Amino acid sequence: QAQLVESGGGLVQTGDSLRLSCAASGRIYSSSVMGWFRQAPGNKREFVAGISWSTLRTHYSDPVKGRFTISRDSAKNTVYLQMNSLKPEDTAVYYCARSTQQRATQEADYRDWGQGTQVTVSS
């Protein structure tokens, strides 16, 4: 079981960029898929992006496609979410999680969740 710790959130303005990090302690197996989710107040937690630890294959939700990029550094056991052209609707708590299912997008498919980091985009 991996422990995940997110960082990098903050308050930014519309159009700004931000990079989130998710540091994992414990082994990340090559079969893992690392994902980012977000949850805005009053909303369900929604999938944002995922990356296969071994193949580096990525998948994104439509609202962030073309603006966000997920990547990973195996030497640092860290997953990143580069967020560009941020919008007020991107405001949410962002969570990192691990799955064993390729291209998983459902919250139930993920385990080993982090505590989340707040991202606030002002207009």
Q: What string of DSSP letters covers 56-121? A: --EEE-TTTTTTEEEEEETTTTEEEEEE-S--GGG-EEEEEEEESSTT--SGGGEES----EEEEE
pLDDT at residue 113, as a whole number:
96
pLDDT tens column, 32-76 = 999 999 999 999 999 999 999 999 999 999 999 999 999 999 999
Tell me 14's DSSP state: T
pLDDT at residue 30, as a whole number:
86
Burial bucket for residue 37 (CB in 10 Å: 0-12, 13-18, 19+) = buried
Tokens 């990143």, located at residue: 80
pLDDT tens column, 83-115 = 999 999 999 999 999 999 999 999 999 989 999
Q: Cα 80 to chain center, whole Å?
A: 7
Q: Cα 38 to chain center, whole Å?
A: 8
Residue 1 has pLDDT above 80, yes or no: no
Q: What CA–CA distance (Å, rounded) separates 88 from 105?
A: 23
Q: What CA–CA distance (Å, rounded) separates 42 from 104?
A: 23
Beta-ladder partners of 120: 11
